[in-house]
Structures are given as C-alpha cells and as structure tokens.
Structure 1
Amino acid sequence: MGLILTNMLLVLVMCFITSVLTVNENFLKMFENQQTPVDPCYNEDRPRRCMPDFENAAFGVPVKASSTCGLHSQMQYCEAPEPGATPQCHICDDRQPKYRFPANHLTDLNNPNNVTCWRSEPLPPVTSMNAPPDNVTLVLTLGKKYELTYVSLQFCPYTPKPDSIAIFKSMDYGKTWQPFQFYSSQCRRVYGRPNRATITKTNEQEARCTDAHRYTGGENLGFGQSSRIAFSTLEGRPSALDFDTSAVLQDWVTATDIKVVFNRLHMPIEDVSDNLDSILVDEHFHSKHLDEDNQTREPSVQLVNEMAVENDEKGNPKVSVVNSEMSTNGIMNAYHQVTHQYAVADFAVGGRCKCNGHASHCVADRDGKLTCECKHNTAGRDCERCKPFHFDRPWGRATAKDANECKACECNQHARKCRFNMELYKLSGRVSGGVCLKCRHYTAGRHCHYCREGYYRDPTKQITHRKACKPCDCHPIGASGKTCNQATGQCPCKDGVIGITCNRCAKGYQQSRSHIAPCIKIPVVQMMATEEDSDDYTGEDPDSSAAGDQCGKCKAATKRLNLNKYCKRDYAIMARVMSRIDGEEDEHTKGWVRFMINVDVIYKKASISRLRKGPMHMMVPVSDLACKCPKIKAGKSYLFLGREKDDSPGGMASSSLGVTQRSIVIEWKDEWDQRMRRFRRRARKCK
C-alpha cells in the first residue's frame, strides 16, 4: 500500500514539474516575441526631430477664478430657457454638490450630455461706459512651457457670450504677462486697438483684437446650446509656414500660464438702447423680423413684470417669473431680470509640451514638475541646452532637416569639462568649437592633445592613455633647465654634459665639483700647429688631417663671411643643436660624433639635397670636435655653411649632415638674418 502511494506521489510531482516547465517556456517565448519599442527621436542610430503628442494641456489642471457663484454664501441666478420664455431662477451654493459651480468644472471631462459649468458671482448691469469693467479673471497654470496651437472657451447653454474678453500669456510662470488676443464689439474704445489689424513680419508678436460678433470661430449652434470662441495662435501670422526657422513665432506660441479676463458681459445700456432689438436677440428675449421692404416690425411685448418664489417637485426653492405685456420700458426691465454673470463650460488649451524637438515625452521629475525626457545629448526642462561635456557644437532646436544633436568635446579622455568657443567653431568650418578645461594627466591644449611644460610624450602609449605624458626628470645640476623637448624628452644640457636627462659627462670631459660647470674639458697635453685652411675644398680625408689627436690652429677666416664664401658652399642653414647622441659606431660612423639638430631656416641648398626643415642628424669628426674646430655646444643656434659631397660619412648617400673644420660654423646672432637674405638675393652673381 505504501509503495502505491509513493508511486502516485511521484507521478503527481512529475506532472507538476512538466506543467511548470511548459508555463515557463511559454512565458519566455512571450518575451522573445516582444520587440524593442522604437524611439521616435532616432531613425536607427541617426538622430531626428521628435515631439510630444498634441494634447489639451488644460485637461484636469486646476483653474484659479477671481469670482465663483455661491463660494462664500448662497446666491440666486436667473436665465431664460428659450427665446421669449419666462426666466427661471436657481440657486448656487458651494456647500451643496448639486448646486456647486466651481472652477474645476472648466477643465474636467467635457461631456455634451452632462455639461458642467463654472459660474461667476452675479454682476450688476452696466449702464455707463464710465462704470468700472467687470474684470472677472481665470488663470490656468500649465506647470511647464508649452507651444500652444489654440485657446478655446465654450460657454454654458442659455448664457450670453461676453462682449469683451482679453487673453494673456506668461512665459515665466506668472511673473510677467503679455497680451495674446482681444475680443470686443468696440476694440478701439475698450482696448485701444483697431479691429482685425493686419499682421506683418515686423509685428508677428502683436496681439490682435477681433469684433465680438465674429469671434466664435463659427456661428452659434442655436438657442440653448453652447457657443464657443477659439483663438488660433498662428492664424494670420506670415511666418507660420516657416515655423521651424522663425524664432519669433516659436517664442510667440510659448506659454507657461494663460489668463482670461472678462471685461464686459454687455455693452452699457445707454450705448445700445438705440439698437435694443439686437440686444434682445443676444439675450434670447426677442426676435426681430423684417418684411419684404426691409421695414422693421414692432417688437413683441411678452415680457416680465413680476417674480414669484415657490418650491419645485423635489422641494428645492425655485424662482419663477410672471409674464405680462409690457412697453419698451418693460423690455428694459426684463433685460435686467436675467442674471448678469459669466458661465463657462469648458476651458481648453491645445498644444505640445515644449521640448525643442529633442524629446517625445514629458514626465514628472522627483519634485513632481513636468520635464522633457531629453534625447540628442540635451538637458533642461525644455531640452534648451546641451548636457555637460557636450559643447563641441552650439545648441540648436531640432528641425526636419537637422536634429542638431549636441556633440561631446574631444579631450582624449583627459578632461571632464569643456566650453564652447564660437570663433573656433567658425574657423573650423562649423565643425568643432569645444575647448577642454582643466586637462588632467599632465596634458595641455584645446583637446588635451599634447604634454604640458615639464613633461614629454611616451611614444609607447596612446595619447588617450592616462600615462601618455612622462616627467622630464632633468638632472638638477647637469641640465640648464627643467623643461625638456616634448617630443623626445631631451633635457637642455650644460656644456660638456650629455644624456636624455643630462646626467653624465661627454667624451673628453670629466666631472668637476662645480654646480655651474659640472663637466670640464680634459686638458690636451700636446698641441701642434698646422697649416691654415684655405677656402679651397681639397676633399681630403678628415681622419688624416687630425691624425694622432694633434690640433692645429682653427682658421680665423671662419669668423668672417662674405659673398665669395657663400657662393662656394652647397648649403647655408641656421639650426639649433639639440643634443649630442652617444651610441655604438659602425664602419661608416667610426671616428664621428652624432648630434641632433633642428633646422630652422634654409638660406641655400643644392637642387638635389637631403636638407629639410625640422630635426635631423649632424655628424662631426671626433678629432675636429676635440680641437673645437668647429666648437659646438648643445642648446645653441649656429649658422652652418658647407658642402654636401664628402663632408659626412657615406657621402651623398648619407642621411646626416656632415660638418668638419672645413665648414663655416658661426654662433648665431639675429643680425645675421638680414645679411644671409641679402646674400641669397645676390647669389645669381656667383661664378
């Protein structure tokens, strides 16, 4: 029996494991079939313009109203359900949900079958243009910059359209306000502006005023139905078709807050009494009829003269009005029976969250503030700047042609900060304008691309390596300075001192105890005079002329230079002796000393010559150098004149410049430059 139970238990366990594996397999397949959501800000890997969805930015956003019916105490309002009908009166009381007309009804769900309204407190009828304006204000705070397409107000049924309305916008969260649009039957009288002024490219940010009878954006839908105004922000603006390139219009449609000020519900009675029939049409009390001859008929006189208060079927107080026939004066009294108040069912603002083409969504940040989810290496609530270290090109709004993605600065991984320089950007052909700041790892330059003073490049490492620059490490006694050659690391050595760091004495020198001259020349025991050199080149072996380390007298003529000597030499250069290079000798360089020089100026060279500006090697016979013929010191500049035929080991095939005691070597002075240039101009006279 126990064995049977054990087998049944094993079967159940296996079934359970099989079912779990099947579920897991299906679960994994479900994720495999899911595709990575497409980022609208990129086309594959290429950036492109992207924008948040168009929306009603006012939906669900609280509105501040300067006046709300029944907010502080119970009030009564009256309205006519149809033309010529007896006005019906009701109450508004914020303490009772059924009779509340709060400002949040302006931005709730606009359901035509269940219209919710905001109502202002009743207003006294205006009988004179000198009376102060109504000035009931609605303020909508969007919480972020939006680019608006329209502002719309839908009025409640059975209520008149206000005669004069002013719409303002703010771009700084309510600190300052700018006129956006005006509506009035008397634009110049109320707002001091012409009716339907023409907008040109010179005044595209100017608010217009539109006649009150034409601002609905369409005709009234009929008595008892809502009327609407709709202000289009770009309508009539000449640059609307070039919106991407119009900074003026981009600024014009940008807003963080919208303020609507109702200035007049009606024009004063004294100003419209001559046109009473028109008023009665607007208030739905009277209809004017014209006969075939366009003659005005007598107005109907079924109007109000008495009010009564009674309870409705549910026991709520209701104020009714008794009708009777009245004269024209009675008509005016009936005009006052309908409550003067503003009533709006829907306040809509259409637009997009402003992200300058660099984001497709706006989300709430940690502080609850609406912020763009920036792409293209941009930053800010509106993606209005490049994010840190991406300043190689200027920030720009994304367009259909160019996403204007911000580019990272090129600092070879040696800097964390950079700045933008417009002059450099223009000089680069509008390619790169970033300048690296606070280069690390001993680098310097706009891109941290070379070593700073006192350091030199390690040729074994890439410039991006954190140890690409090594310290010069010049010997404190043997070197004449702490700054070495940034390419080779060669320190400037004192006379008689050699080595990359100037840490040993050259051949023919011995160490002294002086910090000023750490290496002194070994005294020559035997001196023997030889014949003076002439300007004629004999081509004799330099080793044989100084055999036995016997020094003759250096010819004094080398200190004197004339056009004849200039003409007899193959080359004339000014070069700086960088350092002496000691190393193993081969069969060609035996008996010669190698120097590294930098050729700064070439005054003369043969048509077929190996001379080039820049660093090159120079060879000097050991015997000539020991006799200081020529006398050469590292770190100094000299004027060299000589022949290239046989003056170096290997002759013309050699890549080194040969200098012997037959060459003219003069320590350089600045005044030599003019003389050499003069010789070069007169060189055509050479024989």
Structure 2
Amino acid sequence: TFKFPWGIWTSPHDPCYHPDGRPRHCLSEFINAAYGVSVNASHSLQGPDNDSNITTLTDLHNPHNLTCWMTHTGPDTGDWVLTLPLGRRFEITYISLQFCHQGEPSDPISISILKSMDYGRTWRPMQHYSSNCLENFRLPSQTIAKTRHQETEPLCSDPRPLQRQRGGMVLAFSTLDGRPSSPDFDYSPTLQDWVTATDIRVVLQPPAFTSPAQAPLALSDLQVGGRCKCNGHASRCRRDDAGHAVCVCEHHTAGPDCDVCEDFYFDRPWHRATPTHPNPCVACECNGHSNKCRFSMEVFQQSGRRSGGVCQKCRHHTAGRHCQYCQNGYTRDHSKPLNHRKACQPCQCHPLGAVGRWCNQTSGQCLCRDGVTGLRCNRCAPGYKQGRSPLRPCIRNNDNARISCQRCLNMLFLSWSVLKVQVKGMERSGPWWQFSISVQTVFRIGSTSRVRRGPQSLWVPDRDLGCGCPALHVGRTFLLIGAEEGERGWGPEESRLVADRSTLALQWREHWSPKLRGFRGQLKPAARSAAGGAHHLRLCSR
C-alpha cells in the first residue's frame, strides 16, 4: 500500500500507476469500436434500405468468406448514407472502408466521412474523397493542413490509389495525418476535440451519369479504430448494468469519461492527464471532521494555485475551511490531535464570573467580569472578595456595603444620565461603532452634559459591543442609563455621546413612562420601576 498527498492505492501494478504507486497517464484499450454494431443504411431519394440495420459491414472480417453490402442499381441518382452509432464518446484514430472488388473502381466515386459528438443531433464533416474535389466539394485537393487553424477543418483528396489488402481494396482515413499539431496531441484540447465522436456517418456519392451495365458499389467491412474517451485516467472501458460502455476511472476521477472529480476530491480543479502530468484529483483536507467539500476557484487562486477545497458541514464542533477551528463556545483540547472527534471541548466558563459562554478557542480563557480572574473566571482577583450580587460576583475589599440590586439601580439613576432613545442605524468607524439615535425623552443628564432631544450620534467601543454591552439593536427603543459626553475620556472627541460596558440599555416598556415623567424631581419611584425590568439588563465588565 502506498500513501501520497492525493490518496492511497493498493494496486501498484495497474497501468495507471507507477510500480511505487504514483499515478501516471494511462490509455484504455485500442479497439474496433464498430465491431458488432448495426449500421443504418438509407438513400437520399429512396429512403431507408430494405434491411436498414446492416451487420455484414461490422461482423468478424474473413477475407476467405466475404459478406458484402451492395448499393442498389437503378436510374435514380442520389447518395447512400451509412450511419454507425458508437454508443459513447470515443477518440477515433482511423476509419476504414473495404471494397469487395479486387481492383480500383472503374468509375469515379465521391465519399464523405462525418462525425457527431452529440449522439446524432448534429454532424460535422471530417474528410472528403473525390477525383474532382473542387467541383464536388468546392475544396482544393490537399492531404496536409497548411495551418493550425485549418487542422480541424475537413480536407479533400483523391482516394486513388487505394490500398490493396486480402479480400479487396481499402480506403483508410487517419484522423491525425496531415495535422500540424498531431505530435502534441496530449497537450492539444483542440485536436482532442477533433478526434472525439459518438457517431460516424459515411456518405457514398455515385457518379452523376451511370450506365445500366455499371456494377453496384459493394462494401465488405467498416472499421472505426479508437479508444474510449477516458481523458488519460483509465486503462479499461467496460459495459455497465445498462449495457453502456463506461471508463473504469482511476486517479479519483468519475463520470462516463473520467471528466470530473469524485466526491470529496475537490482540492484542485479537474484536468486531463498527460504523459508529464497525471493530474489526479486530490482529496480535501478536513481533518476527519467532514466528508463533504466543494471547490472554490477564488480560494485556489489565493493559495497560489495549490489548494481550493472548502470543507462543508464540519462535525464535532469544528469550523473553518479545513474544519481546523473550534466553534464558538468550544476550545481546543491540545491533549488530542486535531483529527480527534473530541479535539474541541465546551468552554468551562463560570456562569456568574464569566460574561457569556464563549472563550478563546486556543487557550480556553473565558471573558471575566470586573474583579474576577482565572481561566474559567471562577475566583476573585487580588484585592477583591466575593460579593452577593450576580452582576458583581466580586467586589473590592474596601467596599464594605452590601449593595442590593435595588440600591445599585438607585445609585445608577442618581449618578448617571437617563435617556429614552430609538436606534435608527449603525456603522463602524475604526475602533468605534457609531449608532444613529433619536433622543425621544431626556429624564436626567449630567452636570456637564448638553444632550437634547432629536437626532444624535452615540459612540460605542468595538471591544464592548463585541461582548454585547450595551445590547443595542437597530429599530428598537431603549432606556439608556449611563451614557455621557466623554466623562471617561473614551470618546473620540469630548463633545460626543459615549456608551460603554458600564452603560445599561433596557428595552423600553411603555408602563415606565408615567413613572419616569416625574424622574427629574423624584428619583426613587423611577428607580423602582426600572428595577422591575432588571431581568432585561445585560452588563459586561472585566
């Protein structure tokens, strides 16, 4: 067994692999694709032949016992058309016709060879034969394409002299003879397309004037030599359950022609194999956490054309292009390898000491509240002691007062500004977020504040908004407690309204309104009303 970056193979003696297991360019068997296939014969004027499915042209050829198909004689002129369906895409090397008579035809004939690449829907000429090419096909007589542009266009030449073989005279057409790029066939998509066919058609044009004594044209054999089109990724072509010929694809390719990559092998774009570059399909690197991925050309280009696979549906609480990160709320367990199904473990953050349930994905460090420390935020920092409030689990040692939630809210109302605002929009500005708000009611402002009703800009540090404090949402109305005009020196300018993690944002409740209207002179009733909505508070402190 051999292991490489592109996968593992256990058959190093396969023609598609080197003895050491490395992939290499391979070809399917060279066959007569016409053997045993019925030929459809029809006349341009008379219609289908009486026996339109002819097998005498494609049976086992025996020069000592020829089976011949003959054109019908008569006064009607017109073309005989022989159509051979190959059943799949082949790369054709030659097409040959063997005549039953032993000598050259006494009368001139014209023959056209056409191909279809879409199972007979459209046809394209490949070669014309005539003793008078200019008159019959309006083409000059030539056997070699003069330019690379012309090498995928049909040529016309005189078929005589024919090749003599046992059993009769043979007309053979080679698809690459006279094509300037033929030595570089493996690297020429143009020529590869030129020799590809699903069906072959031979059109026999008898001479314009025939004598009653003229012998009919007789053919004994039609051969189409070529290989299944497997794009260099298969050495065998077999029949599937439906009877269709399919390539036995290697190099982790798939499809009838090995022309796509099989599932999960999308790290690089598919390419045809060449003698110098086998171009196998490469598996995506998902660290064992996914069996599904897609190819991204953008990622491939950004990687220097080395890797373009993007993993999908990462499992085991992983995320990222390679499933190499942990999801939010999980951290890396470095005692286990990255491909272990338990490589990501839930964050072990203390429910009171930590802000939220997320932690650093690498170190596991939770985001602690003010006065709390430890990897899991489960103990008080030096200079702090345990308090009784769930919002302040640790308080300073010199803070002897046991402040209840009710008194804490009263203190906030007494010392900070209180505003009713509606959030209109938000946009980022460097390390800040700028919220467009409408101040609907000013219940209280600081001694130095100049906040008025109407449109305002509220500035929130990105580090605070990232952990959800204050919890502001566009389109909602809030009671904002503690937003000041640069009192803490955190604003980009002293005149700007700033909210940070110490600011409370309570989603507005209409039943607060009558109590807060008298807030300017009577703070306690308003504080009690706001305390009733304490379960809506979201504080965030270190």
Q: Which residue of 2 aligns with 1:112?
A: 63
Runs of at least 5 residues in structure 1 that lack an aligned partner in the other structure: 1-35, 74-93, 95-100, 127-133, 270-334, 526-634, 637-666, 673-687
Are the structure 2 counterparts of residues 499 and 265 from structure 1 closer, same or farther at C-alpha, using a change threshold of 3 Å? same
Q: String of CA shifts for 1:487-509, please: whole Å, max 9, x gaps.
A: 11111111122333334444544
Q: Secondary structure at the match of 1:425?
A: helix
Q: Which residue of 1 aligns with 2:342?
A: 467
Q: Which residue of 1 aligns with 2:406?
A: none
Q: Secondary structure at the match of 1:487?
A: coil
Match of 2:54 among 103, 107, 126: 103
Match of 2:15 among 40, 49, 53: 40
Q: Is the 8 A contact 1:61 1:140 kept in 2?
A: yes
> Given the alignment of the two structures, is residue 241 of structure 1 paired with residue 183 of structure 2, yes or no?
yes
Are the structure 2 counterparts of residues 438 and 221 from structure 1 closer, same or farther at C-alpha, using a change threshold of 3 Å? closer
* Greater gyration radius: 1
Q: Which residue of 1 aligns with 2:325?
A: 450
Q: Secondary structure at the match of 1:495?
A: coil
> Given the alignment of the two structures, is residue 206 of structure 1 paired with residue 81 of structure 2, yes or no?
no
Q: Is the 8 A contact 2:111 2:129 kept in 1?
A: yes
Q: From the two aligned structures, give the one with the greater helix fraction.
A: 1
> Map of 1:592-607 to 2, 5 A cutoff?
none
Q: String of CA shifts for 1:406-427, please: whole Å, max 9, x gaps.
A: 1111110011122223344344
| Partner Cα distance (2:283, 2:159) in 1 | 54
| Partner Cα distance (1:71, 1:491) in 2 | 83
TM-score with structure 1 length normalisation?
0.53
Q: String of CA shifts for 1:225-256, please: whole Å, max 9, x gaps.
A: 62221111001111101111111111111111
> Given the alignment of the two structures, is residue 171 of structure 1 paired with residue 117 of structure 2, yes or no?
yes
Are the structure 2 counterparts of residues 234 and 516 from structure 1 closer, same or farther at C-alpha, using a change threshold of 3 Å? same
Runs of at least 5 residues in structure 2 that lack an aligned partner in the other structure: 1-10, 401-462, 465-487, 494-542
Match of 2:92 among 148, 169, 189: 148
Q: Is the 8 A contact 1:164 1:185 kept in 2?
A: yes
Counterpart AA for 2:377: C
Are the structure 2 counterparts of residues 231 and 253 from structure 1 closer, same or farther at C-alpha, using a change threshold of 3 Å? same
| Partner Cα distance (1:493, 1:344) in 2 | 92
Q: Which residue of 2 aligns with 1:338?
A: 214
| Partner Cα distance (1:493, 1:451) in 2 | 20
Q: Which residue of 2 aligns with 1:56?
A: 32
Are the structure 2 counterparts of residues 173 and 54 from structure 1 closer, same or farther at C-alpha, using a change threshold of 3 Å? same
Are the structure 2 counterparts of residues 336 and 346 from structure 1 closer, same or farther at C-alpha, using a change threshold of 3 Å? same
Q: Is the 8 A contact 2:43 2:79 kept in 1?
A: no
Counterpart AA for 1:122: T
> Map of 1:55-74 to 2, 5 A cutoff?
55-66=31-42
Q: Is the 8 A contact 2:41 2:48 kept in 1?
A: no
Q: Is the 8 A contact 2:252 2:265 kept in 1?
A: yes
Q: Which residue of 1 aligns with 2:209?
A: 268
Q: String of CA shifts for 1:212-235, please: whole Å, max 9, x gaps.
A: 545x3x4x679xx62221111001
Q: Which residue of 2 aligns with 1:180?
A: 126
Q: Which residue of 1 aligns with 2:272?
A: 397
Q: Is the 8 A contact 1:67 1:121 kept in 2?
A: no
Q: Is the 8 A contact 1:174 1:257 kept in 2?
A: yes
> Map of 1:409-558 to 2, 5 A cutoff?
409-523=284-398
Counterpart AA for 1:240: S
Q: Secondary structure at the match of 1:248?
A: helix
Q: Which residue of 2 aligns with 1:350?
A: 225
| Partner Cα distance (1:108, 1:462) in 2 | 63
Q: CA RMSD in A?
A: 3.2
Are the structure 2 counterparts of residues 480 and 153 from structure 1 closer, same or farther at C-alpha, using a change threshold of 3 Å? same
Q: Which residue of 2 aligns with 1:91?
A: none
| Partner Cα distance (1:234, 1:670) in 2 | 77
Counterpart AA for 1:66: S
TM-score with structure 2 length normalisation?
0.66
Q: Is the 8 A contact 1:67 1:120 kept in 2?
A: no
> Map of 1:656-667 to 2, 5 A cutoff?
none
Q: String of CA shifts for 1:63-101, please: whole Å, max 9, x gaps.
A: 11125999987xxxxxxxxxxxxxxxxxxxx7xxxxxx9
Across the two proteins, how many residue pairs are aligned to each other? 394
Q: Secondary structure at the match of 1:139?
A: strand
Q: Which residue of 2 aligns with 1:32?
A: none
Q: String of CA shifts for 1:613-644, please: whole Å, max 9, x gaps.
A: xxxxxxxxxxxxxxxxxxxxxx89xxxxxxxx
Q: Work out the percentage of aligned pairs sharing the same amino acid.
A: 52
Shift of 1:51: 1.0
Q: Which residue of 2 aligns with 1:290?
A: none
Are the structure 2 counterparts of residues 415 and 123 from structure 1 closer, same or farther at C-alpha, using a change threshold of 3 Å? farther
Are the structure 2 counterparts of residues 484 and 123 from structure 1 closer, same or farther at C-alpha, using a change threshold of 3 Å? farther
Q: Secondary structure at the match of 2:168?
A: coil
